[in-house]
Amino acid sequence: MSLTDQLARLGEVRAPASLLPAVMAAVGTAAADRYGRLDDEVWPLWIAWNRDGVSAVMRADVNDEAAFSGWFRREFDRPLLRADSVPPALTRSRRYDLREVTAFERDVLLKTAEIPRGQVRTYGWVAREIGRPAAVRAVGTALANNPIPVLIPCHRVIRSDGVIGNYGAGGPEAKREILAREGVDPVEMERLAREGVRFFGSRTTHIFCVPTCRHARRVQPRHHVQFHSEAEARTHGFRPCKVCRPAAA
């Protein structure tokens, strides 16, 4: 067989599907996402990442590996390579690859990432914080499509009436479960919602907060006061907390 024939035959050989992502990962390109299973404190997670940070998360207890990898390729149209393990520092770095979302969605997700563990804020709070106070419904849509749930804690965002609301990673029950694991009392939250209580205040500081704010939790019972609205709090001479920012300053 001539050299020309041998080269022609070699050209007909197809590379395995795993070769491209492996080569891309080796050269360090951001397009080469890796993924693995992470045993989180609440649920096991499938997590994908690249050199820009975490790119996708999905619950592993209700989705198998094929479901996650298939969803990722359909959603992002990028190669995905199985890793032996998840880097321990990955979830602590708070670095996220959000190149596939819009500028508005990015603002929503990064603001949501600032909500402290064990606390909640409303969709209206997120909208106001990013300078789009009228975009409450759009904030809800952006969080419903959060590609990095749990790590970007959309479960810490509730309805403006205090009701816990829905959750894309398992519905309201899953949302109650993860909030409870973080130290929030969902039963108490729902009681306050039914009674129309939106803010807690301190008679000693004359500051009002969202009920889960760490400052609100330190108020002694004899100094504690509840408010049904921002207007009610201001009428009584209270000003908003500078930490949880329950209302515009």
Q: What is the pLDDT of residues 149-164, one digit of tens each?
A: 999 999 999 999 999 9
230 assigned to some structural domain: yes
Q: How many CB atoms lie within 10 A of CB 70?
A: 13
Within-domain flag for 140? yes
The string of pLDDT tens digits covering residues 87-138 is 988 988 889 999 999 999 999 999 999 999 999 999 999 999 999 999 999 9
Nearest CA to 226 among 206, 187, 245, 199? Answer: 199
pLDDT tens digit sequence for 69-82: 999 999 999 999 99
Would the pLDDT of 84 be above 50?
yes
Q: Structural domain tally of the chain?
A: 3
What is residue 7's DSSP assignment?
A: H
Half-sphere exposure of 55 (CA within 13 A, CB side): 26
User: Would you say residue 80 lies in a domain?
Assistant: yes
- Is 15 contained in some domain? no
Is residue 239 within 8 A of residue 208, CB to CB? The reply is: yes
The answer to whether residues 235 and 155 belong to one domain is no
Q: Tokens for 185?
A: 């009392």
- Contact (CB, 8 A) for 157 and 126: yes
pLDDT value of position 46: 96
pLDDT score for 5: 59
pLDDT: is 9 or 90 the higher one? 90
166 plus 231 within the same structural domain: no
183 lies in the same domain as 234: no
Residues 176, 156, single domain; the answer is: yes
Catalytic residue among 154, 213, 241, 244: 154
Answer whether 26's CB lies under 8 Å from 42's CB. Answer: no
DSSP string covering 135-149, please? -HHHHHHHHHT-SST
Domain residue limits at 169: 103-194
Residue 146 forms part of a structural domain: yes
Amino acid 41: pLDDT: 79
Residue 216 lies in a domain: yes
Q: Are residues 110 and 147 in the same domain?
A: yes
Query: Would you place residue 1 in the very low, low, confident or very high pLDDT band (cuts 50, 70, 90)?
Result: low
Overall average pLDDT of the 48-57 stretch: 96
Q: Give the pairing type, strands 199-202 and 207-209.
A: antiparallel
- Residue 126, exposed/middle/buried by CB under 10 A (0-12, 13-18, 19+)? buried
Question: 184-239 pLDDT, tens per residue?
Answer: 999 999 999 999 999 999 999 999 999 999 999 999 999 999 999 999 999 999 99
209 is an active site residue: no
pLDDT of residue 99: 94
Mean pLDDT value across residues 23-49: 77
Share of the chain above pLDDT 90, in %: 80
* Two tokens, residue 174: 């899953």
Residue 59 scores a pLDDT above 80: yes
If one compares 28 and 240, the residue with the highest pLDDT of the two is: 240
Model's pTM, two decimal places? 0.85
Q: Is a pLDDT exceeding 60 seen at residue 13?
A: no
Q: What is the rounded distance in angstroms from the CA atom of residue 187 to the CA atom of residue 118? A: 14
Does 13 fall in a domain? no
